[in-house]
Amino acid sequence: MKKNKVIIVDDQRTVRGMIKRWIESDPNWEVVGEASNPFEARDQIIEKQPDVMTLDVHMPEMDGIEFLKKLLPQHPMPVIMFSSSTTEGTAITLEALDAGAFDYVTKPSGTPESLIEAKEDLLSKLHAALNYNVSLYQNTKSTTPSKIVSAKRHTSFKTKVIVIGSSTGGTTALRKLLDDVDESFPPILVAQHMPENFTALFAGRLNTELKVKVIEAKDKQLLENGTVYIAPGNFHLEIQKLNGELYTKITQFEKVNGHRPSVDVLFDSVVNCGIANQTISIILTGMGSDGAKGLLNLKNNGSITLGQNKETCVVYGMPKVAFEIGAVMYQLPLESIADKTREIGSK
């Protein structure tokens, strides 16, 4: 059986050894190279042609982010960042994703629980990386959208709310999608799979880049046009109706489909509020199936549903499952979704 090949890049021998043991505990994978710095890694990548690379951030001579930016144009491949610097809520994690990293795993703290969690996280993301659309690496570079709102883009919306679900690759996809959104849009609620403390940073960055206001959602906020509400990490985001008005609802019950926030929880709350027929629902790139059943529930209750197509997804997982069960009414490239939303919402 042909095994999938990994190269490990980390300046600490003990960390490289730990990652190697984890990876090779799965019979589908083999470590074909180890490097303590990007220059060693470059030579091994050319020789070994790995399928996936794990990459540390802080290394001698050249940091991992700079190496990532130099590497991908020449050798596009899924790269999983593995570093204490890519902990929850730090700017360097977003920088790595912007530079083209597929995903990240945080180095464990040393407790048995953290070791198990990190190992499972890494193996899960390695498998997902095999479906990574490497042709999109150039689309993960940072952009600086304009805050200037063009009057001709404004639309008179009849839709009450827009809900979006996303996971792996979603940070970049959301930025690109929301760059085509202006203040005339109805409230937009987003469930993006992210850890705690990470979402506030992500929302803050989007808020400085986009035409619309972007915030990390808090409990019982009145939904307002031209505002994007990002589900806080480790919490579920829902919509609730109070005295005839729509508000956010933040809860922390058990994970759904292995996630908190869960896309299905957000989507189902729209149906529970009785506003599915006044909602546009969108599912973007991501591994797994979270959001697929919720999108079907929305469609069956009158929502217009959109899914990102395979060609523009970093991982065609969530949208694929949704499409296969008949939940997606319009399957579109990422760059067409905002315009389609504008067209549908004004009817």
DSSP track, 133-162: -GGGGGGGS------PPPGGG-------EE
Q: Which of 166, 269, 290, 303 is catalytic?
A: 290
How crowded is residue 130: how many other Cβ atoms within 10 Å of its Cβ?
12
How crowded is residue 268: how many other Cβ atoms within 10 Å of its Cβ?
19
> Distance between CA 50 and CA 257 in Å, rounded?
31
How crowded is residue 147: how many other Cβ atoms within 10 Å of its Cβ?
11
Q: Which of 36, 167, 184, 289 is catalytic?
A: 167
Nearest to 314 by CA among 6, 162, 103, 142: 103
* 167 in catalytic set: yes
SS3 call for 2? coil
| CB within 8 Å of 48: residues ≥ 6 apart | 5, 7, 32, 33
> Distance between CA 64 and CA 107 in Å, rounded?
15
Q: How many contiguous H segments (helices) and E segments (strands) does the chain have?
A: 11, 14
Quote the distance between the C-alpha of residue 51 and its chain's center. 21
* 339 in catalytic set: no
How crowded is residue 328: how many other Cβ atoms within 10 Å of its Cβ?
25
Q: Which of 121, 166, 193, 268 is catalytic?
A: 193
Nearest to 305 by CA among 272, 263, 273: 263
Residues with catalytic annotation?
Answer: 167, 193, 290
